[in-house]
Structure 1
Amino acid sequence: MKAKASLLALALASSPLTAEDRVGPPSPAAEAAKAHIERIEALDDAGPTLNAVIVYNPGAPALAAQAERNGLPLVGRTVLVKDNIETYEFPTTAGSLALANNRTVRDAPMIDRLRSAGGVVLGKTNLSEWANIRSDSSTSGWSAVGGLTRNPFATDRNSCGSSSGSGAAVAAGFAWAAIGTETNGSITCPASINGIVGFKPSVGLVSRTHVVPISSTQDTPGPMTASVWDAAMLLGAIAGEDPADPVTLTAQNRVTDYTAGLADYSLQGVRIGVMRKQVGNREDLTSLFDQALADMRAAGAELVEIEFDPNPQMYRDSFTVLMFELREEMGKYLASLPGEDMPRSLADLIAFNKAHVGEEMRWFGQDLFELAETTTDREAYETARENALRIAGEETLDKLLADNNVQFLVAPTRGPTWVSDLVNGDNFNGSIGFGSPAAIAGYPHLTVPMGAIEGLPVGISFFGAKWADHEVLKIGAAFERARSAVLATPSFKPWSADTR
């Protein structure tokens, strides 16, 4: 990939290590980082060319060895970062050519925390351009900078979005973990469809400073990993207060060791609400979900069937919030960028896309950008925000938990992935899943691999109360141990009827 090749020299030049550091003694962390790079070169740059990674740092093995020698908690584990999150080594593009030169040479606070904990930024992952907020008819996983991300389980099928590259990269074994961001489904959908764990934490647990924004109300970064334990480790490394992001100040004293208690958490006597109407209309998915419920029941869980229809006003008001905040928050972010000749407003981005139609808008337009630019009624926005938060939180999640006397809610995350189609866009099955209330209210949402349909992964989602992040991770770990379904393995080939 052109972007990847052109940035390798930059990655080496920006490394803080000296030549002497780079030839240190071999270490397990360095060997793991080296193996990850070799795997990226074999499967992302060549072979099936997954297009999950935009750029990687060839100096990562030396950085991993140094972190291991220093005895830091993550001991040099490699982490890929979604390319809407700033790291000092690389430009942060959000997948758009408008930000191709957006090299701020600064770390987002969560990345600074990651490095301080001994994590190594291996590189940047591809994403649905602008985190899938440019158009209603987009194809998830496509960006002008990175191309179309392919699903490792079936390369002709979609990797969902917007954290497409992060999901595909972890599934393909390109790093120990990745960081994604979510506004509504952008961590949990690609995690489910790529057969990995994805955790959208409570909004306010992880800083959003120096992250290309959509919504100050709903945006949050979160971990995407091979196991719940790894997600808990990564969350503990990146969570924390940030004075520049006031919403994180409400998380004071909430950050903890999220791995504590995961290994021995029992489902015995745990009451779980089953969102039966959100299972959808596929018999194969229903059967797999019922198997997962049987596994939890056998482990001692008490399951409570719930019939519930969400209030559609929640979706309408949340959409108003996203459109209003997109214009405001994007303008603030762009205005903060160093350098000359950078876009400074959403209007500038719209103009850029019109001037680069062939590269940026060959397959879909920018109807949402244009709508956001005209969504300026602050009073209507404030009313919509109050309504959306109340309906999604107090009147939906809080009420369901309280009225049914349950600690958690459970539903399938998504159905199996669909064939990628740049001409016609995505093909979601909207009858499956219950992620929107948690996204809109800012509550935790964990997806864990549940099994596979025709060789294509599907996940199961667990929801809890606001700030119940640790408890949600615990039940996810317990489900991992109880799960009886056989999980699929990546084929790195197009899907066929012989796939199992």
Structure 2
Amino acid sequence: MTNQTEYDLEMPLCAGINIEDYSITQLQQALTEGKFTSYELTECHLGRMEVVDELVKAVIDVNPEALLIADRMDKEREEGKVRSLLHGIPFVVKNNIATKDDMQTTAGSTSTIPVLVGATVPKDAEVVTKLRDAGAVLIGNANMSEWAAMRASYYSEGYSSRGGQCRNPYNLAEAPGDSSGGSAVCVATNIATFSLGTETDGSVIYPADRNSVVGLKPTVGLTSTAGVIPESSSLDTVGTFGRFVADAVIALDGISHGLENASYSSFVTTKEALKGARFGLPWKRIWERAKRTSNGKMEYEGLITAIQKIREAGAEVLNNVDLPSAEEIVPPEGSDWDYAAKQGRPEQSEFTVVKTEFYNEIQSYLSGLTSNPHNIKTLEDIIAYNTRHTEKEGGVPGTHPAWPTGQDTFEKSAASKGIKNDNYTNALAYIQKKSRDEGIDAALESQGEPLDGLLVPVQADGGVAVQVAAKAGYPVITIPIGVNENGVPFGLGILQTAHKEDLLIKYGSAIEDLIRGRAKPQFLNIKADNFMFIGIKPE
């Protein structure tokens, strides 16, 4: 492996202070005490971005108004106004979350630029509005797998035509994770204090896990997707990334519809909360596959060691708490959202739902733009653009190295015409029943009293456990645990039923306090220039 000795990648001091391990609360305290201003803090993060992003390519757009916003927050502070814990704190959002400023919301693609250059989104995404109202400082848009990994069945993970190949800062020859990889990398490398990503199937939790940060994917509907370039309304949600559970939760408080009489931050605890807690390990097709996978041996052993520590801290961890539907809902060869259709059962396929909803919802999104001078209004228009510009967008198979299969997933969605036929209706009902009533809910209730969560290996078999939660629309949190033999981090996920974020936060923060597994990026293989493919390789 090539190391970083010829590069100066240490976090720069902010007004003489090393803020690399500062939480949002600590930054806020420093701002209150006048140790530095939000302007200086933002300058520090922009400087970090300038140095590090050349290597990791985690940022697509830099907000030219960032320092102006920070200056306004400083003036408000001087006048005695502090809006929230996020006042003056720098953040980034994934490039499919609309921002009404001098940045382009394109889902990483050049194909929507003709729509948006000379045109405008009608307003910020609702989650961005909430963060601006809370006083947070938007400094940029994060790179992502183009079109949130919707355009092709086999592609280079983390690649977009606008942002290039996003890389894992722990080992630059390794993938950053699923489509929100840029958002996770920005937090891991201190480009931003916290970030937003979107998840349809694994795209918050998986990259958080691979970048040694906390990912919090909320229940579908808890955070607004208004103004987010859509994929599937039944599965889409906006989640948060932070270096600590508390940071991800403060961000969730900033964007969620919230609790009536409390903040989610009130549920953050310490390791003492593990005494008397009860967790389950879903073995069939989840932990059993993690144990048998030879290239994941170090991760499996690290996770088992962490679970033993959780037991020693006073929690009960029950083995073989299986999902009753495991053999139906979990693909036997690893994560694959169209596995059922490939077996001749499209009425049981997650992708049947996604491709149908995407067709309709991308048209709705495009029609909602303030202006559309280039008349790109449908998925067919986007497909045609990619085909015409295949040297850049790889619309034709084999013409761009990042997309060997071209845009075959787009084409399958277009073929559906968005018709909500019996296959669609039955598929939605099937995946929800098997992942909820006969899946996560059944496992949580299988031991008499309800369990406090299901502990899962996030990366095992391509994230099959996280995929079950995605089908259910249920919340997940992932906590850093360690680093594998390739230098890539791994963590422990907790699954719960709908709207039980309080339990995920309580026990996620307790496990974080116990394990303290977050690692610092090492920038191994710093000269890597490879693609990192994911999906089903074409024959």
What TM-score bracket applies, with the shorter chain setting the length? 0.7 to 0.9
Distance in structure 1 (CA, Å) of the matches to 2:375 and 2:475: 35
The answer on whether the counterparts of 1:311 and 1:391 sit within 8 Å (CA) in structure 2 is: no
1:289 maps to 2:303: yes
Distance in structure 2 (CA, Å) of the matches to 1:236 and 1:463: 20
Q: 1:353 to 1:484 in 2, by over 3 A?
A: closer
Distance in structure 2 (CA, Å) of the matches to 1:65 and 1:269: 48
The answer on whether the counterparts of 1:26 and 1:65 sit within 8 Å (CA) in structure 2 is: no
Q: Paired residue for 1:30, among 25, 29, 39?
A: 39
In structure 2, what residue type is equivalent to 1:274?
L
State the match for 1:371 in structure 2.
412
Distance in structure 2 (CA, Å) of the matches to 1:206 and 1:482: 29
Question: Aligned residues: percent identity?
Answer: 32
State the match for 2:186 in structure 1.
169
In structure 1, what residue type is equivalent to 2:319?
E
State the match for 2:215 in structure 1.
198
Distance in structure 1 (CA, Å) of the matches to 2:64 and 2:362: 32
Distance in structure 1 (CA, Å) of the matches to 2:261 and 2:430: 29
In structure 2, what residue type is equivalent to 1:483?
I
Q: Paired residue for 1:304, among 299, 305, 318?
A: 318
State the match for 1:260 in structure 2.
266
Distance in structure 2 (CA, Å) of the matches to 1:115 and 1:493: 36
In structure 1, what residue type is equivalent to 2:452?
Q
SS in 2 for 1:266: helix
Distance in structure 2 (CA, Å) of the matches to 1:306 and 1:322: 31
For each residue in 1:414-459, what CA deviation from the matched residue of structure 2 results, as whole angstroms up to 9, or x when unmatched? 15xxxxxxxxxxxxx43x5511121111110101111111222001
Taking the TM superposition and a 5 Å limit, the aligned residue runs for 1:61-460 are 61-68=67-74, 69=77, 70-73=81-84, 74-89=86-101, 90-101=103-114, 102=116, 103-104=120-121, 106-240=123-257, 256-264=262-270, 266-277=273-284, 278-279=286-287, 280=290, 281=293, 282-306=296-320, 308=322, 310-312=326-328, 316=340, 317-339=349-371, 340-361=373-394, 362-363=400-401, 364=403, 365-375=406-416, 376-404=419-447, 405=449, 406-414=451-459, 429-430=461-462, 433-454=464-485, 455-460=487-492
Shift of 1:59: 3.7
The answer on whether the counterparts of 1:37 and 1:58 sit within 8 Å (CA) in structure 2 is: no
SS in 1 for 2:208: helix
Distance in structure 2 (CA, Å) of the matches to 1:106 and 1:330: 17
Shift of 1:337: 1.5
In structure 2, what residue type is equivalent to 1:94?
A
Distance in structure 2 (CA, Å) of the matches to 1:234 and 1:408: 22
SS in 2 for 1:409: strand
State the match for 1:55 in structure 2.
61
Distance in structure 2 (CA, Å) of the matches to 1:158 and 1:51: 12
Q: Which structure 1 segments of 5+ residues have no match?
A: 1-24, 241-250, 416-428
Shift of 1:379: 2.6
- TM-score of the pair, normalised by structure 1: 0.85
The answer on whether the counterparts of 1:91 and 1:104 sit within 8 Å (CA) in structure 2 is: no
The answer on whether the counterparts of 1:411 and 1:433 sit within 8 Å (CA) in structure 2 is: no
Q: 1:116 to 1:235 in 2, by over 3 A?
A: same
Shift of 1:384: 1.2
The answer on whether the counterparts of 2:379 and 2:414 sit within 8 Å (CA) in structure 1 is: yes
In structure 2, what residue type is equivalent to 1:269?
G
Shift of 1:377: 4.7
In structure 1, what residue type is equivalent to 2:465?
F
Distance in structure 2 (CA, Å) of the matches to 1:81 and 1:377: 32
SS in 2 for 1:110: helix
Which deviates more, 374-383 or 171-180?
374-383
For each residue in 1:446-476, what CA deviation from the matched residue of structure 2 results, as whole angstroms up to 9, or x when unmatched? 0111111122200110011110012111110
Which deviates more, 386-395 or 58-67?
58-67
The answer on whether the counterparts of 2:279 and 2:455 sit within 8 Å (CA) in structure 1 is: yes
SS in 2 for 1:260: helix
State the match for 1:243 in structure 2.
none
Shift of 1:213: 0.5
The answer on whether the counterparts of 2:280 and 2:321 sit within 8 Å (CA) in structure 1 is: no
Shift of 1:313: 5.2
State the match for 2:7 in structure 1.
none
SS in 2 for 1:434: helix
In structure 1, what residue type is equivalent to 2:411?
E
State the match for 1:16 in structure 2.
none
Distance in structure 1 (CA, Å) of the matches to 2:283 and 2:35: 52
The answer on whether the counterparts of 2:229 and 2:362 sit within 8 Å (CA) in structure 1 is: yes
Higher relative contact order (CA 8 A, sep 6+): 2
The answer on whether the counterparts of 1:276 and 1:411 sit within 8 Å (CA) in structure 2 is: no
Q: Which structure 2 segments of 5+ residues have no match?
A: 1-33, 331-336, 341-348, 395-399, 528-539
Compute the RMSD of aligned alpha carbons. 2.0
SS in 2 for 1:223: strand
The answer on whether the counterparts of 2:58 and 2:167 sit within 8 Å (CA) in structure 1 is: yes
In structure 2, what residue type is equivalent to 1:451?
G
Q: 1:313 to 1:270 in 2, by over 3 A?
A: closer
SS in 2 for 1:283: helix
In structure 2, what residue type is equivalent to 1:162?
S
The answer on whether the counterparts of 1:218 and 1:439 sit within 8 Å (CA) in structure 2 is: yes
The answer on whether the counterparts of 1:87 and 1:105 sit within 8 Å (CA) in structure 2 is: no
